[in-house]
Amino acid sequence: MTGILYGTGVGPGDPELMTLKAVRLVKENEVIALPGADPKATVAYQIALQAVPELAEKTLVAVDMPMTHNKEEMNRKHDAAAALVEEYLKKGQNVVFLTLGDPTIYSTYVYVQKRVAAHGYPTELVSGITSFCAAAARTNTPLVEWDEQLHVLPAVHRLENRLEAPGNYVLMKSGRKMSQVKEILAASGKEVVMVENCGMESEHVYRSVEEIPDDAGYYSLIIAKEPHGGL
């Protein structure tokens, strides 16, 4: 019998935001995959280790898939990652692949899962707390109420539709083009808050467009809401 590949979200940073299921899977299984060349240096490892100290004694598999815009190279990396994971699965060992946040939201893990599943191995996704839910909680305000729409936009500076639809927005992956993004936000008239490194020690909250630095980090997340009187 082959093993199962579990794509497991560890949440956004606070180890206490791991789910009981993620904790159990790490405890019960021997092989833990982590997205990076040095498993112990990954953010996912650092988060999970605090919740499950037993992680330090596990077999760690480094799944290195650095971001690239060269599609061929990327495909090669994902193929190699799948092959690496399958070495354990074919021996009957489960692999718990830890990933930041939730594995269904912009996770590179799914490229590995697609390949592994196509090769006939069983796979399962285990939900984690998303960065945008955690950021909203951190600012102590709801993301959406009543019939408000929620739009999650990566790299908003490249989009045509930008912030035109009614509703509240989450902007992700904006770090590298922050001055452009700030212009879009200022023009939108929305209430803006940005959370940098949510749930980590280096966390910082900015409460207006003006406060946001042009060189904000990669893990910055912006919430832009329609201004309205509270109930």
- The site for a second copy (CB under 8 A) is made up of 11, 14-21, 23-24, 51, 75, 78, 102-107, 110-111, 113-114, 117, 123-130, 133-134, 136-137, 140-155, 158-159, 161, 165-166, 173, 230-231
At 183, the amino acid letter reads E
Looking at residue 142, its amino acid is P
Could you tell me the smallest distance in angstroms from the CB atom of residue 122 to a second copy?
Answer: 10
The smaller minimum CB distance to a second copy, of residues 14 and 86, is found at 14
As a whole number of angstroms, the distance between CA 124 and CA 193 comes to: 34
Q: Which is nearer to a second copy, 111 or 206 (CB)?
A: 111
User: Please, what is the minimum distance in Å from the beta carbon of residue 106 to a second copy?
Assistant: 6
Residue 22: CB atoms within 10 A of its CB come to 24
Q: Return the number of the residue (31 or 126) whose C-beta is nearest a second copy.
A: 126
How many Å apart are CA 77 and CA 129, to the nearest integer?
27
CB 38 to a second copy: min, Å: 25
Shortest distance (Å) from residue 23 CB to a second copy: 7
Amino acid present at 178: M
Phi and psi angles of residue 59, each rounded to the nearest 5 degrees, phi first: -80, 115
CB 144 within 8 A of CB 138: no
Name 126's bridge partners. Answer: 8
CB of 28 or CB of 38, closer to a second copy: 28
